[in-house]
Structure 1
Amino acid sequence: MFRNTKRWIPGILLLVCSYGFIAWKLIGFEADFDGYFLNILDSPIFLLVLILSVFNILAEAVKWQMLVSYIKPVSLQKSVGMVLAGFTSGIFTPSKLGEPVGRVMSLPKEDWAKATLLNYFSGFLQNVVLLLMGFVFIGIMQQDGENIFRSVFYYSLLLLVFCLCMAVFIGVYKNRIWQRVQHFRILNKLLGIGTVLKEIKPLVHGKLMLLSLVRYILYCSQLILLLMIFTQNNHYSEFVLLAPIYFMCITMVPSFVLADLGVRNSVGILLFSTIQVDEVAVVLSVSLLYVINQIVPALLGSASILHLEKKRPVS
């Protein structure tokens, strides 16, 4: 009996941390957004935002289903549950580093390391899309002469050049690097886990990038629609240009868990103030986007965690 009880402890701890963090966030929302939610419910656009959130989760579930199939085939329904559980375990950790915990707990323990690597690989592809698309749009905006866009453009260009140099360096000296790595047992073990990435076929890489692009478009569309709800001006074309830059910036700007929403709001105000968008509208849009795409899936994922913990194989 005690052995079965022990299996529930990790899931319960995840739920306590997640709900504590969510409660802390919602207290701030009540203080900032009191009196505004009635306007949201009156807008038919908000329903579209919610529908896009569902498609966002489905797109991520399809991505995860494709990746985890290299370890163990899973149904789309189970993949959705694993993705939601990942939201719950990742919401209270910096940069969602704890996301793999929820996603892999239904797999055998010997597969956790490979599944974790696949999860971070999925996030890496998503960030590549965010950075590349943001770089394109920041290049367009910096031509207007705004200092803020020029600064971000040069910073992102420097980051891109650094990444390219590192890629070239690794490509040229990969044999020497491999020889050095073989002297370290732990690195050898990590490389052994990394062989799962070699099994991913080029066609699958293309599908994963396409799904990452779909999720990116959904995120941008949601932010644009929320800004349309809370603003009375006709800056819609500027919203289209600034939304990709916003997501690029919050990807590059380092933050820790308790400051995550604050960073998102600060970046949003800094960017959208260049087109005279009201600060309250920006805070509402960014915060509500966070609630819809992070907190709500984390709440739904709590049920998935308990269900996955119940079905997790006993080791």
Structure 2
Amino acid sequence: MRITSHKANQFFSLVLKVLVVLAAVSFIWYKVTNDEAMDFDRFVDILNDYRIFSFSNIVILVILTVLNWYFEILKWQTLSSHVRENSFKAAMRESLASFTAAIFTPSRIGEYGAKCLYYTRAAWRKIIFLNFLGNTAQLFATYFFGIAGLLFLITSLDLALPIFNIIMVSGLLFAPFIIYVVMKKFRIRIKGYSIQRLEESFHNVSEKIRWKTLIFASIRFLIFTHQFYFLLLEFKVDVSYPLLISAVFSTYILASIIPTMIIFDAFIKGGFAVWIFGMLQVPQIIVLTIVLTVWILNFGLPGLAGSYYVLRYKKAKHAVA
């Protein structure tokens, strides 16, 4: 009976892994070939017209993608060291596999559960918090550079923004801080968690780990935003560096305030990017092409790479304390 049960568990585990991979691959393929704002054939033609597929450009873009994920993996290796010593290879496996599992879940919720599978049940609460801490550090870096970019754009272009837009964007930007204050003041609990408990968990993580996490998150942000900037240069956008990079920073912070599934990330960023770069007279088709290219490099390819680790996942081997 035990042998039959074990075989059944193995079968269902294999089916589940295959379904996760098929769902992730299908979502990525759908995004690349069925973008409402960008016809795929036209997308490829534009890349060819601007010689984006030249050897030097591909090398630079791939290096930036690898560096982006190198620091993401390094960030998780640092955070997970609070639970156990983790090699870079193990951290890469956990990061990519959980990313693939999170592609079709809102706000990357699936990432939390997928990373837990590599640890014993006793460590799950810590892993969930550490993953939350890593995502919060990334959001903090986005806010830090994003707000600076927004302020620079508004003052440099002397924009006459409608009061309603100002109130709406300001409300969305400061919503996390308002929620934090309200939850702390009224001791609101969500699923057993409170701000006080999160703060206690935060201080239990060493200051060295917290600072390294924030530094790696900031480096990541600068890498993928400058990848965007590099593509702007290759598309012959003749605007000064401060204005262009501020526009890129602004795009990312505005896109970050709307929770969404990874598969729709390019759509959200595309909408904000078209609006922001429109102020700099950058053609819409160029902006959408760059957004989709960056999405493929930093989301699509890593999602496919993570499929390998999802299929090779073995609980008995990896879920150790």
TM-score range, shorter chain: 0.7 to 0.9
Question: Superposition pairs for residues 110-121 of structure 1, below 5 Å?
Answer: 110-121=122-133
Distance, in Å, in 2 between the alignment partners of 1:149 and 1:239 is 23
Alignment check: 8 A CA contact 1:94 1:256 kept: yes
Query: What's the offset of the Cα at 1:156?
Result: 4.7
Query: What's the offset of the Cα at 1:230?
Result: 1.8
- The one of 4, 11, 19 equivalent to 1:5 is 11
- The one of 204, 214, 232 equivalent to 2:219 is 214
Q: Could you report, residue by residue, the CA deviation over 1:44-91 in whole angstroms, capped at 9, with x for unpaired residues?
A: 244212101111111111111111122222101110111111221111
- The one of 44, 52, 55 equivalent to 1:34 is 44
Residue equivalent to 1:131: 143
Query: What's the offset of the Cα at 1:196?
Result: 4.5
Distance, in Å, in 2 between the alignment partners of 1:220 and 1:257 is 17
Alignment check: 8 A CA contact 2:116 2:128 kept: yes
Query: What's the offset of the Cα at 1:14?
Result: 1.2
Query: What's the offset of the Cα at 1:229?
Result: 1.4
Residue equivalent to 1:307: 312
Residue 16 in 1 paired to residue 22 in 2?
Answer: yes
Write out the 4+ residue segments of structure 1 that deviate beyond 6 Å after TM superposition. Answer: 149-152, 188-194
Alignment check: 8 A CA contact 1:95 1:256 kept: yes
Question: What TM-score do you get using the length of structure 2 for normalisation?
Answer: 0.83
Distance, in Å, in 1 between the alignment partners of 2:238 and 2:66 is 28
Structure 1: runs of 5 or more not aligned: none
- The one of 77, 80, 92 equivalent to 1:80 is 92
Residue 201 in 1 paired to residue 201 in 2?
Answer: no
Alignment check: 8 A CA contact 1:88 1:102 kept: no
Question: Superposition pairs for residues 101-116 of structure 1, below 5 Å?
Answer: 101-116=113-128
Alignment check: 8 A CA contact 2:149 2:245 kept: no
Residue equivalent to 1:122: 134
Distance 1:153 1:211, change over 3 A: farther
Residue 268 in 1 paired to residue 273 in 2?
Answer: yes
Residue equivalent to 2:76: 64
- The one of 258, 280, 287 equivalent to 1:282 is 287
Residue 187 in 1 paired to residue 199 in 2?
Answer: no
Query: What's the offset of the Cα at 1:194?
Result: 8.2
Alignment check: 8 A CA contact 2:255 2:269 kept: yes
Distance 1:309 1:11, change over 3 A: farther
Alignment check: 8 A CA contact 1:11 1:309 kept: no
Residue 147 in 1 paired to residue 157 in 2?
Answer: no
Distance, in Å, in 1 between the alignment partners of 2:47 and 2:310 is 30
Distance 1:201 1:312, change over 3 A: closer
Structure 2: runs of 5 or more not aligned: 1-6
Which letter does structure 2 place at the counterpart of 1:53? T
Which letter does structure 2 place at the counterpart of 1:213? S
Which letter does structure 1 place at the counterpart of 2:110? G
Distance, in Å, in 2 between the alignment partners of 1:98 and 1:307 is 18
Identity of aligned residues (%): 20
Alignment check: 8 A CA contact 1:11 1:306 kept: yes
Distance, in Å, in 2 between the alignment partners of 1:224 and 1:151 is 30
Query: What's the offset of the Cα at 1:284?
Result: 0.9
Q: Could you report, residue by residue, the CA deviation over 1:128-165 in whole angstroms, capped at 9, with x for unpaired residues?
A: 11112211121121123223598766545445555445
Distance 1:63 1:269, change over 3 A: same
Question: What TM-score do you get using the length of structure 1 for normalisation?
Answer: 0.85
Residue equivalent to 1:53: 65
Query: What's the offset of the Cα at 1:245?
Result: 0.5
When the two chains are superposed, the root-mean-square deviation of aligned CA atoms in Å is 3.0
Which letter does structure 2 place at the counterpart of 1:269? V
Query: What's the offset of the Cα at 1:293?
Result: 0.2
